[in-house]
A and B are shown apart, each in its own frame.
Chain A
Amino acid sequence: MKWPAMGYARAKSLAELWSALDAHGSAGQIIAGGQTLLATLAFRLSEPSTLIDITGIPELRGISVQGGALRLGALTLHADLCCDPLVKAHAPLLAAAAPLIAHPAIRNRGTIGGSLAYADPAAELPACVIALDATVITVSAKGERRVPAAAFFTDLLQTALEPQEIIAAVEFPLTKRLGAIEEIARRSGDYAMAGLAATLHLEAGRVIKPRLVYFGVGKIPVLAAAAAKALEGRSLDTASISAVQAALAEDLDPPQDLHGPPEMKRHLARVLTERVLQGFLREKVQAA
């Protein structure tokens, strides 16, 4: 199908963005990398009157460490995540996630802001920001808001963003912790059938503050509370891993999709749990 006829505006600053958004109201739509939006327009899923391009707004760019946090501008490309030295140093989980997202051509245009705003439940970055306990910095004409990542995703493809509000940046605390991401996808670059992004601390052999975030298994990325409880304070071993797997029954309520029934997603989530936690265990053994 062909796109509906629509206008195009390029904002050079936040001020220009606010006036453009004001002028077009709800018929204006922000475009960043366009890697999701353009495909959905070609299906005529929505028919905005004007696309407002935010990629020329300098305030939304940049990777820096400031105020005790790693700050990624909303326009940070997936491709930047895999190789930026600050990302590698402070949020290696993002560097590990980047190669799992789509293909190089898409990673060269797709942005972290777009990925979080679109909130695909099978996407990697929404899960990672929750696992890393990040804060989503939003901005509108009214000013800035700081939304904890775990509260940002509200329902299928829904976020805490308000009308005419955008993601400006994401901030990650500079805490040292173990992190890993694993997913099971039919082909490399596909959205995962199921995935797990996890972080935790190991203190004297005990797990502290585990954050296990499952993606592709629900309407939003699932921060597994029962599983975390089953792991908190325990040493990482086959018994605790089994306990986490069992606890997932409480955390996950996956839908049926083209890849299989809910039961299959639950099973894959247990497999991922085992693989990710065993991976930490191996790191622990190697470190010792």
Chain B
Amino acid sequence: MNEITPASIGLSREDLPNSYIGRSVPRPNVPKLVQGRATYTDDVTLPRMLHAAFLRSPHAHAKFSAIDTARAKAVPGVFRVFTGHDLAKICDPWVATLDHLKGMKSAPQYPLPLNHATWQGEPIVAVVAESRAAAEDGVAALDIEFEALAAQTDMETALAAGTVVIHPELGDNLVFTRTAESGDVAAAFAAAHKVVEARFVTGRHTGVTLEPRSIIADYNPADETLTVYHSTQAPHMMQGVFAKQLRMKEGDVRVICKDVGGSFGIKVHVYPDEVAVAAMARIMGRPVKFVADRFESFVSDIHARDHRIKGRLAVDTEGRVLAFDIDDLTGIGPYSVYPRTSAIEGNQVVNLCGGPYDFKNYRCTTTVVLQNKTPTCQYRAVGHPIATAVTEGLMDLAAEALGMDPVELRRRNLIRDDAYPYTSPPGMRFEGLSHHASLNKLLEMVPLDRIRADQAEARQRGVYRGIGFASFIELTNPSPFMYGIGGARISAQDGCTVRMDPDGSIVASSGVTEQGQGTEAILAQIVAHGVGVPVNRVKIITGDTQTTPYGGGTWACRGAGIGGEAALQSAIALKQQILEVAGAMLQAAPETLDIAMGEITDKASGKPRMTLFELGRIVYFRGDTLPKDLQRELVQTRHFITKEYPFAFTNGIQASWVEVDPATGMVKLLEHWCVEDCGRVVNPMLVDEQVRGGIVQGIGGALYEHCVYDAEGNLLTTTLADYLVPMSAEMPEIHVGHVETPTRESLLGAKGAGEAGTAGAPAAIMNAINDALKPLNARVHEQPFTPERILRALGTIA
């Protein structure tokens, strides 16, 4: 489907790794980041800039009417106060539903609500002032009377009769439900040799980016343009959102995304406080800055993973999986989050449960309900850790029921490596996965015999250690089937423009974005490889809607797979154009020439013929000496979108080795392994660190991170002293291995690698803890696995 095949550019696939692609090229932007010379949004200061602070709802659910702003306006430094009604005059509300999620509903959401507060921490009133401190003083001087309402906080009662309906106009608290069913589930369970079941809970947690959400919006009445400096993953998407909500033309909005200090999915959503900032800038004609502080981040950044899942698994006497039957329930807060919606996570659970295994009978329902808590939405590995925990937790229960080794049970059921293409019971199409090769590779890395011997010996001493495994699949390189078909203006394609400047240096601008994960590094590698120049001659531009080709940005693992392919194709096109020009200059057929390390060479002998510096000099300054009709466009653009498969699935397997202290309920992570298959590895060091970082975030969900609410809907974990993130001292040695099954959809062959670690780690840890606790007849399926929960499982405390 690509016009350019490896053969057409004189490369075999096997040649690709013998270049920058496949090498651990250091990231060009690292010195800047570690020397403190990055430019984050908060580093940007504009003339006449004002600062915003928000009064946030102290109640989970309340009505309010009169807002007295007089005292706030009198505070020194305060410039203006905005209420929901003020902003509604120029800013339209949004409704976050997707057409392909049948029956989905959600209420219109305004940048600031008009009279109804629906979660504690919701922005209600904005104060703009000369400094953030003065704006906060203004917030403290606002007089607003809330009439507290009963809050709907327990997802289990969200649909019960007589419950609080958060948005009465919706009729009930149901946002979305979907059941996928295939085969004959009832018959499979009836005929089963063993049936195991469990109730799983995944804890509500959040992304905790080092750099909080940050935005500066600047409306220039002279040319009627809005420029937004925004710490975001998706500048082009946000351009469209600001334009639509503020009733502007998309072309009159420019979103610039400077350095971003982490995002993990947190920064790909539309936040009411950020839209409010844009609306206020539009009204005042002055730049407004808002940087969330940590307290605000905890109550207003999206949360995720608040699920309760009941699962059953049926196996036959051989240990073959007959059927999965899963019931998922999730509470998403009072609004579905725009534009991706908050139904996708539950939908992913339906798509992914049982994913690694070859079986026929499947039923999975997700029910997505409203709650008076912070809205939830897509966070790193959306739905994957939930589906993997349920699937792999049930597999371990089945192994125990069968008296079979958990590894053997997996080996018997993993989809065969030669079975592709393969369609899973919920309809996911797999182009090519490597479950068995990955398992085999993992077993080469994990000293299983030594571990089992150590485990037995330790138990004699009253020390409880356990090992757990988790196979997983990961959905990457999404096509428009993810959001586009649902009507969302979320681009699944991405583009890259590569040009050569007079001195032979290369500049590439790409629609994918850098969040600190190294996107720009791999783009530089790919472009250097494609053109044939040293990687330090390549500069990368990302994060500016006015200077980069239209694209989707960073989400769902697509930077390398989609953005990388666009970069490769445009680099190759530029190379061909350069060789045309060089051929004319050197009076040689372009096919007989090549570019290596920035020099035109004779392909056969490798002999240097001319530098790109010289070629640039002639093209740009002595174009008169070239043949009149010679094309000399030393700039090329290519866009890429996947066409054959809705998603490029990846796979992998993790193992976790832990020690549980039954006296205290504390879990010590001893060692962790992951083998994953993200197709072509562009930069092994970056992929390994993506996997490690992802595992650490998975560990966070499994052991530490939890947004804890009281029964009234007050968030209790609003500082980093109470919301525990994983810290280096507790992290185990993490070993990473790879199997490479490149996707055939692209020349590059890369799939996503960013979410694999997070997808599998919680399940592996859960299984390891339960393996450790087995002699004590205790089991945990509720994340995070805190000392309290482990002590309860042991019966130590009631």
Residues in B with CB closer than 8 Å to A261 are: 788, 797
Least Cβ–Cβ distance between B225 and chain A, in angstroms: 31
Residues in B with CB closer than 8 Å to A5 are: 133
Is residue B604 contacting chain A, with contact meaning CB distance below 8 A?
Answer: no
Q: Is the CB of A186 within 8 A of B796?
A: no
Is residue A8 contacting chain B, with contact meaning CB distance below 8 A?
Answer: no
Least Cβ–Cβ distance between A219 and chain B, in angstroms: 18
**Segment touching A, from B349-357, B463-471, B638-646, B722-730:** B722-730
Least Cβ–Cβ distance between A153 and chain B, in angstroms: 21
**Segment touching B, from A53-61, A157-165, A264-272:** A264-272
The residues in B between 718 and 765 inclusive whose CB is less than 8 angstroms from any CB of A are 721-722, 724, 726-727, 729-730
Least Cβ–Cβ distance between B387 and chain A, in angstroms: 27
Q: Is the CB of B787 within 8 A of A258?
A: no
Is residue A188 contacting chain B, with contact meaning CB distance below 8 A?
Answer: yes
Take A188-B727, A271-B664 as given contacts and tell me if A260 and B796 are in contact as well, using a CB distance cutoff of 8 Å.
no
Q: Is the CB of A186 within 8 A of B717?
A: no
Is residue B390 contacting chain A, with contact meaning CB distance below 8 A?
Answer: no
Residues in A with CB closer than 8 Å to B666 are: 184
Residues in B with CB closer than 8 Å to A142 are: none
* Interface membership of chain A positions 190-204, coded 1 if the CB is closer than 8 angstroms to chain B and 0 otherwise: 110100000000000
Least Cβ–Cβ distance between A173 and chain B, in angstroms: 33
Q: Is the CB of B729 within 8 A of A259?
A: no
Q: Is the CB of A259 within 8 A of B132?
A: no
Residues in A with CB closer than 8 Å to B717 are: 258
Q: Is the CB of A188 within 8 A of B729?
A: yes
Q: Report the count of interface residues on B (CB-CB < 8 A).
A: 29
Nearest chain B residue, comparing its CB with the CB of A266? B797
CA of A267 to CA of B786 in the docked complex: distance in angstroms? 15
Q: Is the interface of A mostly helix, strand, loop or mixed?
A: loop
Q: Is the CB of B133 within 8 A of A271?
A: no
Q: Report the count of interface residues on A (CB-CB < 8 A).
A: 24
Residues in A with CB closer than 8 Å to B729 are: 187-189
Residues in A with CB closer than 8 Å to B132 are: 2
Q: Is the interface of B mostly helix, strand, loop or mixed?
A: loop
* Interface membership of chain B positions 693-711, coded 1 if the CB is closer than 8 angstroms to chain A and 0 otherwise: 0000000000010001000
Take A1-B136, A2-B136, A259-B787 as given contacts and tell me if A268 and B664 are in contact as well, using a CB distance cutoff of 8 Å.
yes
CA of A261 to CA of B791 in the docked complex: distance in angstroms? 11
Nearest chain A residue, comparing its CB with the CB of B724? A186
Contact pick for B722, options A187, A258, A267, CB 8 Å? A258
The residues in A between 1 and 40 inclusive whose CB is less than 8 angstroms from any CB of B are 1-5
Is residue B295 contacting chain A, with contact meaning CB distance below 8 A?
Answer: yes
CA of A261 to CA of B786 in the docked complex: distance in angstroms? 13
CA of A151 to CA of B507 in the docked complex: distance in angstroms? 71
Q: Is the CB of B796 within 8 A of A267?
A: yes
CA of A190 to CA of B137 in the docked complex: distance in angstroms? 32
* Interface membership of chain B positions 631-642, coded 1 if the CB is closer than 8 angstroms to chain A and 0 otherwise: 000000000000
Residues in A with CB closer than 8 Å to B222 are: none
Nearest chain A residue, comparing its CB with the CB of B135? A2
Is residue B798 contacting chain A, with contact meaning CB distance below 8 A?
Answer: yes
Q: Is the CB of B133 within 8 A of A264?
A: no
Interface residue ranges, B against A (CB under 8 Å): 131-133, 136-137, 140, 293, 295, 663-664, 666, 704, 708, 716-717, 721-722, 724, 726-727, 729-730, 786-788, 791, 796-798
Q: Which 3 A-B pairs have the closest CB atoms?
A: A260-B788, A2-B133, A188-B729
